[in-house]
Amino acid sequence: MPEPLKNYKWFFDFLGPDEGHMCGIRTIHYARQTRFQQMEIMDTGCYGRCLVLDGKIQSSTADEFIYHEALVHPALLAHPHPRRVFIVGGGEGATLREVLRHPSVERAVMVDIDQEVVEACRTYLPEMHQGAFDDPRVELRYLDARRYLEETSETFDLIVIDISEPIEEGPAYLLFTREFYEIALQRLTEDGIISLQAGTTALTALLNFAAVHKTLSAVFPVVAPYQAVVPSFGLPWGFAVASKRHDPRALTPGEVDQRIAQRTRGTLRFYDGEAHQGAFLLPKYLRQRLAEEERIIEDNQPLFTYH
């Protein structure tokens, strides 16, 4: 077999002021400045087809299953019988795909502010959504998710917050604040749970993860932080489950495997009982940082990650 050609076109994902992650670009399929953000869909030599928003990789066909399974299933399996799910963001449709693996889910409302992103993903990333947008249980709306939750009287068993990092020019930063989490709490059923990505757990960039955890803890009785390695992100990534009563850390590996077998369709590639246990067993330095963090993110004092 001939060796692959050397790549002369590169995508550089800035992870911080002194760190970055490079990927060779094969083809750019879509590039557009939407009303809200810069969007690109490109084929890379290392991670396959990628969705890039405001210069940062959001998903790749090589490893998106890690991120989306980690985001969705710990919360859904901790709930006794989830029927109504609300998704904030999730333009690729992969979060929706994972939610719909659960036959108990009767209704999934997905609200994304950027219609152009969703429509481009629908066309160029079929491997990610796998037809989820066409499921009859789905309601897809192009609105401000925070305003939607403020104005509706409906309650949900699970709210999944699948949004990009909070950057000053982007549409997401007001979805990381104490005020938003208080709105989400009001829109949950008594057994309700929220799940979200909480930023990197890299040793040198823990502010976002720690501040999100502190902010959630100011609102919810139960907050369970965890992490997973998503290679295309270039850094380990943090998540959190917050709820009124149910704690996913109470589930044993055997119970997780049993619930996966009984309550989901298809085959998961990342998440099972052992992965669940490992994700919530945080290292000492990370637990210490969470315990020491004092910052609570608020509307009038938002947190912005490096961009």
Distance CA 258, CA 267 (A): 13
Of the candidates 174, 194, 253, 168, which has an alpha carbon nearest to the alpha carbon of residue 72?
A: 194
Of the candidates 139, 33, 122, which has an alpha carbon nearest to the alpha carbon of residue 86?
A: 139
Please report the pLDDT score of residue 164 as a whole number: 82
* 262-266 average pLDDT score: 97
* 168-182 average pLDDT score: 84
Of the candidates 16, 25, 69, 72, which has an alpha carbon nearest to the alpha carbon of residue 44?
A: 25
> Is the pLDDT assigned to residue 8 strictly greater than 80?
no
Beta-bridge partner residues of 84: 107
Q: How far is CA 58 from the centre of its chain?
A: 9
What lies within 8 Å, CB to CB, of 189 at 6+ separation is: 84, 155, 156, 157
With beta carbons less than 8 A apart as the criterion, state whether 2 and 17 touch: no
> Is the pLDDT assigned to residue 74 strictly greater than 90?
yes
* 74-86 average pLDDT score: 98
Take residue 197 and report the two structure tokens written for it.
Answer: 């990505």
CATH 3.40.720.10 fits 64-292, yes or no: no
Please report the pLDDT score of residue 6 as a whole number: 61
Rounded CA Rg of the chain: 18
Average pLDDT of every residue of the chain: 94
What lies within 8 Å, CB to CB, of 52 at 6+ separation is: 11, 13, 39, 40, 41, 42, 58
Distance CA 58, CA 100 (A): 21
Q: pLDDT-derived band of residue 276, with 50, 70 and 90 as boundaries?
A: very high
Q: What pLDDT, in 10s, does the model give residues 98-128?
A: 999 999 999 999 999 999 999 999 999 999 9
Beta-bridge partner residues of 10: 24
Q: pLDDT-derived band of residue 15, with 50, 70 and 90 as boundaries?
A: confident
* 116-145 average pLDDT score: 97
18, 112, 162, 272: the catalytic one is 162
Please report the pLDDT score of residue 172 as a whole number: 77
> Is the pLDDT assigned to residue 2 strictly greater than 70?
no
**Burial readout 109-126 (b: 16 or more C-beta within 10 A, e: otherwise):** bbbbbbbbbbebbbebbe
* 31-50 average pLDDT score: 95
Q: What pLDDT, in 10s, does the model give residues 190-237?
A: 999 999 999 999 998 999 999 999 999 999 999 999 999 999 999 999
Instruction: Indicate if 191 belongs to the active site.
Output: no
> Is the pLDDT assigned to residue 302 strictly greater than 90?
no
Q: Could you tell me the fold of the domain covering 10-60?
A: Spermidine Synthase; Chain: A, domain 2 (2.30.140)
E strand intervals along the chain: 10-16, 19-33, 38-44, 48-53, 56-60, 84-89, 107-111, 138-141, 156-162, 188-200, 222-229, 236-243
Burial class (CB in 10 A: 0-12, 13-18, 19+), 254: exposed
Distance CA 252, CA 257 (A): 9
What residues does each domain of the chain span?
10-60, 64-292
> 3-state SS of 233-300?
HCCEEEEEEEECCCCHHHCCHHHHHHHHHHHCCCCCCCCCHHHHHHHHCCCHHHHHHHHHCCCCCECC
* 19-45 average pLDDT score: 93
> Is the pLDDT assigned to residue 7 strictly greater than 70?
no
Angle at 57 between CA 35 and CA 289, to 5 degrees: 110
The residue type of 131 is G
Reading phi first (left if > 0) and then psi (alpha if -120 to 50, else beta), residue 182 is in alpha
The residue type of 211 is A
* 1-13 average pLDDT score: 70
How far apart, in Å, do the first and last CA atoms of the chain sit?
A: 40
